[in-house]
Amino acid sequence: MRLASYGKFGAERAGMVDRDRIIDLEAAMQAAGALRPVSDMRLLLEQEDWKQLISRAWARRDGAPSVALAEVRLGAPVPVPRKLMIAGANTHTHVAEATAVLKESVAPRQPMILAKATSSICGPNDDVVHPPETRKLDYEVELGVIIGRRARRISEAEVRDHVAGFCVINEMSARDIQLAEHESNPFYRVHFMGKSYDTFNPMGPYLVTLDEIEWGKPLGLKTFVNGKVRQDGDTSDLVFGVEQLVAYISQAMTLYPGDVISTGSPAGVAHFMKPPGYLQPGDVVRCEVEGIGAIENRVVTESH
């Protein structure tokens, strides 16, 4: 199933995608006689029996209100998760392109887990704001993992039972800020700040549940800037796969329903192009994940 959040920013409602329409989930749950209908995605995933709830709601979708996809704004599948984690340097090809430029290996021995502010999240077709503080805005297509069940110290074999589904993420960075080019101290890095500007994490278009995906099958990853291919790879390129990432993170912290993990991006980022291909206002960035969908965002100048 494909689940979506739709409506105005900050007031998104959960829905089920039925071809070219979105069925309001809360209304469908009420039609199905649910005792606790929910209106937003994170609240849905926090229900122990959320899979059964949406199955019953789907069966009664004809009796619930719907809206055409073309007529509504899509939000991020989970607009405000508790945590937004990212795996840095987590594809072999990205490590290779970085190593070639930096003249030393950047391959991690264990997952390099970073984080972004959840306020950086925006919808799959929202504008991305180019802040005045950066000259080096970059893109990264990534497979997003959305947690569907509380996880603490789980094994890799248990991960699948704790994942709700996948989405597409453009994990954006202001490279000059992230790498603290304004500082002479080589220890000084501000990954969190450089990756957390508002709109730096477009997500979507849907939460695609696991019943639609062959678990473990490599999924293609592509980025286009103004129609030209910048990144072209697949998830077999990941250094640490979904099972390893989720299990590893769960050893340190509890993962809650709705939490999001961005898994890593293939070679072709703007930062390592010759010359660098940083994004500018007016550029259109399209990120695709095979079987999941595509998100497309225009870069705009920040207005006050």
Q: How many domains does the chain have?
A: 2
Element (H, E) at 100: helix 92-102
Residues 161 and 268 in one domain: yes
pLDDT tier, 36 (very low <50, low <70, confident <90, very high otherwise): confident
Q: Which DSSP category does 282 fall into?
A: T
Which range marks the domain in which residue 65 is found? 2-75
Q: Domain holding 244: CATH number?
A: 3.90.850.10
Residues 137 and 243 in one domain: yes
Percent of residues, the chain, with pLDDT higher than 70: 99
Residues 151 and 278 in one domain: yes
Residues 200 and 178 in one domain: yes
pTM, rounded to two decimals: 0.96
CB 50 within 8 A of CB 97: no
Mean per-residue pLDDT over the chain, rounded: 95
Residues 152 and 237 in one domain: yes
Residues 170 and 126 in one domain: yes
106 or 251, greater pLDDT: 251
Determine the Cα–Cα distance for residues 208 and 164; give it in Å rounded to an integer. 8
Residues 59 and 163 in one domain: no
CB 38 within 8 A of CB 3: no
Residues 174 and 195 in one domain: yes
Residue type present at position 163: V
Q: What is the per-residue pLDDT across 43-88, written as a single tens digit (0 to 9) for each?
A: 999 999 999 999 999 999 998 999 999 999 999 999 999 999 999 9
Which of 49, 75, 101 is the C-terminal boundary of a domain? 75
How many C-beta neighbours within 10 Å does residue 56 have? 15
Determine the Cα–Cα distance for residues 295 and 131; give it in Å rounded to an integer. 21
Nearest to residue 12, comparing CAs of 207, 257, 164, 192?
A: 207
44, 102, 212 from 59: Cα distances, Å: 17, 55, 17
Percent of residues, the chain, with pLDDT higher than 90: 89
Which of 75, 103, 123 is the C-terminal boundary of a domain? 75
Nearest to residue 55, comparing CAs of 76, 32, 38, 30?
A: 32
Residues 219 and 157 in one domain: yes
Determine the Cα–Cα distance for residues 141 and 9; give it in Å rounded to an integer. 23
Which of 75, 98, 123 is the C-terminal boundary of a domain? 75
Residues 94 and 147 in one domain: yes
pLDDT at position 228 = 98
Q: What is the per-residue pLDDT across 108-150, written as a single tens digit (0 to 9) for each?
A: 899 999 999 999 999 999 999 999 999 999 999 999 999 999 9
Residues 52 and 106 in one domain: no
Residues 239 and 281 in one domain: yes
